[in-house]
Amino acid sequence: MQYISSYASPLGEILLSADTACLTGLWFPGQKYFARTLGPDPVEREIPVFTQTKHWLDLYFSGRRPDFTPPMHLSGTDFQRDVWQLLAAIPYGEIRTYGQVAQALAEMRGLPHMSAQAVGGAVGRNPISILIPCHRVVGAKGALTGYAGGIDRKRWLLTLEQAQNHG
């Protein structure tokens, strides 16, 4: 069974999805790959993981760093999940370039190099925006590119975090 709920953020409505115990999606309506992991006929219901996620989002949007992470279940390829794991490790207030993420992935996999473009494709398909901070990944020289939720939202989130490149 899949469940959905809405959250009113400073950046607009957010759709949350979950299985019985874990968050499976967090999207802004209209974003690229919107609700792609959501099956047919989800049930709108408040369940504990939504309560936790909304509390996390309340803290985050108030400018505080949440000290917990709601349980998540990520559906994707091994490559995508490896990229998302690296995104989740980017600290609050810091940014990385696609090239830096690609280099870290290559090291993790014991390879001499990895395509930043392939990493960008996986970053863009991140099903749990904000909690898995794909907004913290920027183009070469800090260019704000490639956020499925829109560049204005990416800029807003990075400003909230007072993000700087420490990679």
Query: Is residue 22 among the annotated active site residues?
Result: no
User: How do strand 43-44 and strand 164-165 relate by DSSP bridges?
Assistant: unpaired
Diameter of the chain measured on Cα atoms = 47
Rounded CA gap, 19 and 145, in Å?
Answer: 31
Annotated active-site residue in 16, 49, 74, 134: 134
* Type of residue at 82: D
The CA radius of gyration of the chain, in Å to the nearest whole number, is: 15
DSSP codes joined into one string, 57-118: HHHHHTT---S----B---S-HHHHHHHHHHHTSPTTEEEEHHHHHHHHHHHHT-S---HHH
What amino acid positions are annotated as catalytic residues? Answer: 134
